[in-house]
Structure 1
Amino acid sequence: MRRQGPATLRGKAIPPTTTDQRLLDRRGPTDWVHADPWRVLRIQAEFVEGFGLLAELPKAACVFGSARTRPDSPEYRLGEEIGAKLHEAGYAVITGGGPGIMEAANKGSHDAGGLSVGLGIELPFEQSLNDHVDIGVQFRYFFVRKTIFVKYSQAFVVLPGGFGTLDELFEAITLVQTGKITRFPIVLVGTEYWSGLLDWMKQTVLPAGNISADDLDLIHLTDDPDDVVRVIVEAHEEEARKHEETEAVAETARRAGDPS
């Protein structure tokens, strides 16, 4: 029998060499660096890097949208305007750090003097962080990147996009709906683009009983950049007011229970 960390091995399961031997022998096999236990350390390192780099990030809004959007398109210009207005309202801007809508939002924030963050992802095809990112992190794992998006964003702004954008949108809705995270505003930008999806949810998913009517209230649809910012600011002002009321009630209860 051999104890190997928290594991106990017997018989044929005992490897012919020790972990230290395999680590220190340069002539040994290299496939160990691709094993799942080693991947856990890589995953941990990505979390540590992301948390450490963004720990002091001010309040921020995340902007999602297609990487395929061209710089001469109306959607790109809309992304720039939203990025700039978010900065004016006191928010840093976080995107996936790539081209298209992501680049537009980063550029709008950066050019307006704001803080522009890019959370990139390793893909089979080359895609580097865009030139308008002030703070950038490149991730290997999608789920680590998603966690960082959620942890450091106080709002999600979703412009027209494809599968990646839909993935982020529905993950955000699900996390808020299930109470896994504190409710934050989710704003869809582009009524013509998103109306069909919302109509399907209202006419098919809701009648089937798979969502409730209240769930649809988690999403705000607009075409107006000023409306985007208004929804976000008002939601956070309301959250702050409720927090103050809760603290006041707790303080009153503490004083009532204090014999002094």
Structure 2
Amino acid sequence: MNEPSAQAHWEQRTQRPLLALAVGFAVAYAVPIVDTTAGHSLTAVCTAVEWVVWATFAVDYLMRLAMSRDRRRFVRTHWMDLCAVVLPILQPLRLLRMVSTLILVGRRARMASQIQLTTYVAGAVIGLLMFGSLAVLSVERDSPHGNIRTLGDAVWWSFTTMTTVGYGDHAPTTGLGRMIAVGLMLSGIALLGVVTANIATWFIARFEKDDVEERRQTLAIEALAEEVRALRAEVAALSGAPAVGLSGAAALSGAEAAALSGAEQ
């Protein structure tokens, strides 16, 4: 039995701590946006927490790269992780740190075999709704022509955007806000496709299981019918042999009686 590699052992050991750090990132990202009265010191602390969490995920990527047996293949198959690590360095915006952290959390969560697809999709929906609402609120609240001023407006807008309903009562007016809207639309469509495919796969698997059971029963019935036909043939053969013997005996008795009758005459 093969022992797990150092990379797999590292991923298993760091799975839960990284998810806990992601929760801390969510809190640090949300506090300055929700609490408009937050002072400069609190905002600085939250920003530092965001950078620490991102840096931790970056270190995690580098450690997994160092432990990988084929580093070129690791980079090719984990290119999204690399983009998420490099993205905030190129342009140190809070929104980019949020996007990169979401990507890294999603990639690590998918590696956990105990997380089922339904749980992953539900977590992705909640995360996108929360971060999408906070992100659009942070960029639209101070816009002169914006109409997303409160957290409630932002959450409602995120719901209508992710479901591609788009009532139009709230809409982003800034370029960055529209970029967030495009990301939510694409994410909503992708998640809807995942859910639809999962449901379709479940139905197909159920139908295939029913078909397999039906074929098994059909084969069993055919085998039973073949056995019945064989038994009938054996019964017919066994019952036919004695009948022929009795007919011969009756014919012999008739001949003897005729001979006796001629002798008497």
TM, length-normalised to structure 1: 0.25
Work out which structure has the larger RCO, using CA pairs closer than 8 Å and 6 or more positions apart in sequence.
1
More helix by share: 2
Which one has the largest radius of gyration? 2
TM, length-normalised to structure 2: 0.25
